[in-house]
Amino acid sequence: MRTIRSIRDAVALVLLGAIGAVPAVAQTYTIQPEHTYPGFEAPHLGISWWRGKFLKTAGTVTLDRERKTGSLSIEIDAASLDFGHQKMNEHARSPDFFDVAKYPTITFKGATMRYSGDTPAEVDGELTLLGRTRPLTLRIESFRCITHPLYKREICGADVRGGFNRRDFGMTRSASDEAAGQVRLVIQVEALRDE
């Protein structure tokens, strides 16, 4: 009887060990477009900073909390930009700036995520704008996950910041020097864990 029990206990330990050895799986979250608005700030005539945002986005976030890695993929409808000023919107969509007829999509693909403790803190990736791709690092300045009250699934939100010079992407109109080409990014994002 003791031998049978010992064999059963040994088998249980082996099974528990095998379960523990299963590699952690990254979780995928779908960006919620109605709660995600990439915003930007850019100098206007060197006298003020104009602020705008994009109203249509899509994408995914992956998080592997065990390995402290992750990735981010976001696609932005360039024509959805909004300054809150119709003439400015029309001019910004023209070939002088975003040239949305020729380049309808802006993308960011972040393949390297770094953590601070247990929290995502930065993601290195590539921004594609006006057909040109350049490296870009985004800082995750706040990050929090809760159970969504309606969907009963985990939802995570973050405030993300970064910056680049639009001249590097060929957007040189009204950007005669380095300072005039600066663009600040301020992004609010929420993403719901996939079922």
Q: Two tokens at 188?
A: 């609010």
- Asked if pLDDT for residue 62 goes beyond 70, the answer is yes
What is the model's pLDDT at position 44? 81
Confidence of residue 9 (pLDDT cuts 50, 70, 90): low
Q: Is the pLDDT of residue 188 over 80?
A: yes
Say whether pLDDT at 172 is over 50: yes
Buried b / exposed e across 75-99, counting CB within 10 Å, b at 16+? bbbbbbbebeeeebbeebbeeebbb
| pLDDT for 75 beyond 90 | yes
E strands in the chain = 27-31, 37-44, 48-54, 57-64, 69-77, 81-82, 105-116, 119-129, 132-147, 154-165, 182-193
Q: Which CATH architecture has domain 24-193?
A: Beta Barrel (2.40)
Whether residue 8 contacts residue 15, with contact meaning beta carbons closer than 8 Å, is answered with no
Q: Give the whole-angstrom CA distance, residue 20 versus residue 161.
A: 37
pLDDT, the chain, mean: 88
Residue 19 pLDDT class (50, 70, 90 cuts): very low
Average pLDDT of the residues in 172-190? 85
Closest CA to 190 of 59, 79, 69, 83: 59
pLDDT for 160 beyond 80: yes
Three-state DSSP state, 52? strand
Residue 165, pLDDT above cutoff 90: yes
Predicted TM-score (pTM) of the model is 0.83
| Integer Cα distance of 126 and 25 in angstroms | 25
pLDDT band at 18 (very low <50, low <70, confident <90, very high): very low
- Domain extents in the chain: 24-193
Query: Which DSSP symbol is given to 194?
Result: P
Q: Dihedral angle at the C-alpha atoms of 81, 85, 90, 96, nearest 10 degrees?
A: -80
Nearest to 106 by CA among 164, 146, 147, 153: 164
Helix (H) or strand (E) holding 10: helix 2-21
The answer to whether residue 80 scores a pLDDT higher than 80 is yes
Residue 4: the pLDDT is: 47
